[in-house]
Chain A
Amino acid sequence: MKVLIRHQKREVEVAGRRRVRDVLAELGVNPETVLVIRGSQLLTHDVQVAEEDTIELRPVVSGGGA
C-alpha cells in the first residue's frame, strides 16, 4: 500500500494487507499524533488496509503558540 505521510511530506510503500495499527507501528508513528484517512474516510486502528490502497497519515499536533 501507499502511505502519504503528510507532515514529513513523503510517501512510503508498506507491503501486504495490514491493519492500521500495524502500519503505524511499522513506521514508528505514535497513534495519538495522527489520523489515518482513506479517500475521505477516517479509519480506526483495527481496519484492514488492502495492498492496492492509498492512505494518508494526517498530523494532529499543532503548537508553538505562547
Chain B
Amino acid sequence: MRCQKCKGQASIEMRRHHAAFCNEHFIEFLDHQVERAIEHERMFTRDDRVLVVVSGGKDSLALWDVLLRLGYHATGLHINLGIGEYSQESQRKASAYASRQGAELLIVDIPQEYGMNVEEFARATGRVSCSACGLSKRYLFNRVALDEGFSVVATGHNLDDEAAVLLGNLMHWQTESLARQAPVLPSTHPHLVRKVKPFYRIAERETAAYAIIRGIDYIVEECPNSVGARSLLIKEALNLLEQAAPGTKQSLYWGFLERGRSVFVNMDDASIHACIHCGQPTTAEVCAFCRMTERAAERMRIRRLSPLAAAGAVPAAQEGAVVPGS
C-alpha cells in the first residue's frame, strides 16, 4: 500500500478516509486534524496556558506531544490514582516524557493527599471503580487549573471514546448527559474551567499509531479495574460495526454534533454553584467529590476504631471487613 501523498510505503491505512499515509505524512495529517479541531471549535489559542491531563497512556501523551510540537503552551497534569503498580508505572511514563521534552508536569497524588486511593473511594460509596476514578479526575484537574491559573483543560478523549460514550448515553436516553457531550465544555461558572477534547476527530487507532511513530513510551497495559467495563463492551461492538462499515464511529459522533445535540441542549437545566465545603462547582449543596471523600474518611475512621482493628485482627483497610456500625 502506498502513501497517497508521496507514493512511498504506507505505514497506516485509514479506511474511513479512504487514505493511507507514510509516517511523515500521517503526522502531517494528524497535525492538520488537531489544528482544525482547535480552530473550528475555538478551543484555545497560542496565547492560552493549557493544562493537559496526562495519564501516561497513548492518548494523553500523544496529545501533549502534538500540542508542544505545534507551539502551544501546554503543561501536563498527572493524577496518581493509587492503583498499585499500574499507577506507579503510569506516573513513571508521564514523568519520563516530561523530562525528555523539558516540559513542566504537575502531579497530584491521591493516596498522599487523601490517605486512600480511588478504589477505597469507590468501596466507601458503592460506586464502580471507573466512576470514582472519573469523578476524582474531573474534580482534581478543575481544581488544579483554577489554583494554578490555567484558562483551559485539555484531555486526550478521542473519536472512539466519544462515540462509545454517546452510544452508552443513547441506549439509556440519558438526556442531560447527551446535552453535555461536546468537544468543548464552556466555563458556565467562575469556578468551572473550560474543558476541551482536541482529539475528537482522531480515532483511537490513529492516536496509538501517532505514539508509536513518534517513539513515545506509553503504558500499554490497561488499568486492572477496567476489566469488564461497560465502555469496553460498547467499543467492541462499535469496532465490529466499523470493520463492516468504515466510518461508522465518525458518522455516529460527528452526526450527533451536527444534527443531534441541539435537540438535547435545553434538557440540561441544572444550575451550578460553589460547593459549601470546597468551593468547587456543583449542582448540589456539597459536591459529589466532597461527599465521596467524606464518606470514605468516615468509613476508614470507623474501621480504625473497631475492636477487631484495634486488636490487630483485621487490617484497617481490608476489603470486606465486618465493621460494627458500617
Contact = CB atoms under 8 A, between A and B. Distances in A.
Given A44-B13, A61-B239, A35 B226 contact: no
B299 to A, nearest CB: 21
A58 B222 contact: no
A19 B205 CA distance: 20
Interface in B218-267: 220, 222-223, 225-226, 229, 231-232, 235-236, 239-240, 242-243
B205 A32 contact: yes
B10 interface: yes
Contact of B204 (A37, A61, A65, A66): A61
A63 B220 CA distance: 12
B220 A32 contact: no
Classify chain A's interface size.
20 to 34
Contact of A65 (B13, B130, B209, B220): B130
Interface residues of B, number: 42
Nearest to B239: A32
A32 B243 contact: yes
A63 B232 contact: yes
B140 interface: no
B231 A63 contact: yes
B110 interface: no
A36 to B, nearest CB: 10
A61 B160 contact: yes
Interface of B: 1, 10-13, 20, 23, 57-59, 128-131, 133-135, 160-161, 164, 204-205, 207-209, 212-213, 215, 220, 222-223, 225-226, 229, 231-232, 235-236, 239-240, 242-243
Interface of A: 6-7, 30-33, 35, 37, 40-47, 58-66
9 contacts: A33-B236, A60-B208, A61-B232, A62-B59, A63-B222, A64-B222, A64-B231, A65-B133, A66-B131
